[in-house]
Chains A and B, each alone.
Chain A
């Protein structure tokens, strides 16, 4: 059973416009969410995160929104740049789960293409 879902395998956006990547989760115990970016031939790198006590976290061009009632989070990139073209993974963790509290459950990823 997939606990973290990224239902859009790919997304194309024009340079300068907003990119919105979506993520849904089913486990109500998840209390921390992260976004990772992955370029080809490199490992994933941490981008931005949000705790369940917040509904928004912003870092420069990147903003993550969390809607706990809908079990939904989204990553907004404004303005989008060609260098943002990468695969984006959503991840979640349940920090109350003892030995499992450091585990990350990943979505399948969304490939973002920013067109110049």
Chain B
């Protein structure tokens, strides 16, 4: 089954304790992205990656790191989590192929989400 998986699904941690949220996709997609969803703010992009070893900042990258050593995996790293990073996190992926940009769908496939609480 084609899917994006995230682990863990739920995590409660304390301020300053490093954590990693894993994301993996089995669709051979080049593009991967991390979002956070907060009440009243919708989905905001944290980081994205166009391919292996190619990553770039989204709208809210502060306090986060990512890596893309393999095509299928795109972990999100919080080196020193703080309470304002309590949120619902989604990983997404998309193929870069699709012919001329005018016919490309830009559809992204989302994982099930990780609810993180930082105390």
B90 touching A108 by the CB < 8 A rule?
A: no
- Indicate whether B105 reaches chain A with its CB closer than 8 angstroms: yes
In the complex, besides A44-B43, A51-B102, A104-B106, 5 extra interface pairs with C-beta distance below 8 angstroms are: A34-B106, A43-B4, A101-B101, A101-B106, A106-B35
Residues from chain A with Cβ under 8 Å of B31 in the complex: 102
A34 and B96 in contact (CB under 8 A), knowing A43-B90, A44-B43?
Answer: no
A96 and B101 in contact (CB under 8 A), knowing A32-B106, A43-B113, A102-B106?
Answer: yes
Residues from chain A with Cβ under 8 Å of B50 in the complex: 99, 102
Which of B42, B103, B105 is in CB contact (< 8 Å) with A89?
B42
A108 touching B40 by the CB < 8 A rule?
A: yes
Residues of B41-66 whose CB lies within 8 A of A: 41-45, 48, 50, 56, 58
- Indicate whether B80 reaches chain A with its CB closer than 8 angstroms: no
The size class of the interface chain B forms with chain A is 20 to 34
B55 to chain A, nearest CB (A): 11
- Indicate whether B17 reaches chain A with its CB closer than 8 angstroms: no
A103 and B45 in contact (CB under 8 A), knowing A95-B101, A95-B104?
Answer: yes
Q: Which residue numbers of A lie inside 8 Å of B, CB to CB? A: 6, 9, 32, 34, 36, 41-46, 49, 51, 53, 89, 93, 95-96, 99, 101-104, 106-109
Residues from chain A with Cβ under 8 Å of B35 in the complex: 106
Residue of B nearest to A49 (CB): B105
Docked complex Cα distance between A107 and B42 (Å)? 6
A95 touching B106 by the CB < 8 A rule?
A: yes
B42 touching A109 by the CB < 8 A rule?
A: yes
Residues from chain B with Cβ under 8 Å of A41 in the complex: 112-113
Docked complex Cα distance between A45 and B107 (Å)? 9
